[in-house]
Amino acid sequence: MIQVTPQMRILVAVEPVDFRKGIDGLARLCQDVLQQDPFRGWVFVFRNRRATSVKVLAYDGQGFWLCQKRLSRGHFRWWPVSRAGAARTLEAHQLQALLSAGNPDGVQAAPTWRSVSP
């Protein structure tokens, strides 16, 4: 089972991808376009051209997970735009908002790490 934790690194691809691609095709995109090794434990998020579906690719140490969510109505209104790179990082709570077809930029949560002083 895939579980997204606050410690996970999440990368959202800016450009839409061909959703006929499976695990191998998306892993190749991670290497060639996003410049990241898909075997390092990152969670990669992709969307289709119509913004009605997203795919999440993750490697758990034993194999790949490929999950897809297709909205029954509407589309994903928020998606990062290309500024300087092919991807944008998100926090775990922002990914939850994105998968609920919400805006991750408007979600606030406690910091993932803070120093403890006596």
Residue type, 59: Y
45 touches 92 (CB < 8 A): no
52 touches 76 (CB < 8 A): yes
The dihedral over CA atoms of 63, 28, 10, 46, expressed in degrees to the nearest 10, equals -110
Neighbours of 76 (CB within 10 A): 20
Indicate if the pLDDT at residue 96 is higher than 70. yes
Q: How many CA atoms lie within 13 A of 79 on its CB side?
A: 19
Indicate if the pLDDT at residue 14 is higher than 80. yes
Non-local (6+) Cβ contacts of 79 within 8 A are 12, 14, 47, 51
pLDDT, averaged across the chain: 88
Tens of pLDDT, residue by residue over 28-76, are 999 999 999 999 989 999 999 999 999 999 999 999 999 999 999 999 9
Percentage with pLDDT > 90 across the chain: 55
pTM: 0.86
Can you spell out the DSSP letters for 17-65? --TT--HHHHHHHHHHTS---GGGS-EEEEE-TTSSEEEEEEE-SS-EE
Across residues 68-92, what is the average pLDDT?
87
Give the residue extent of every domain in the chain: 10-106
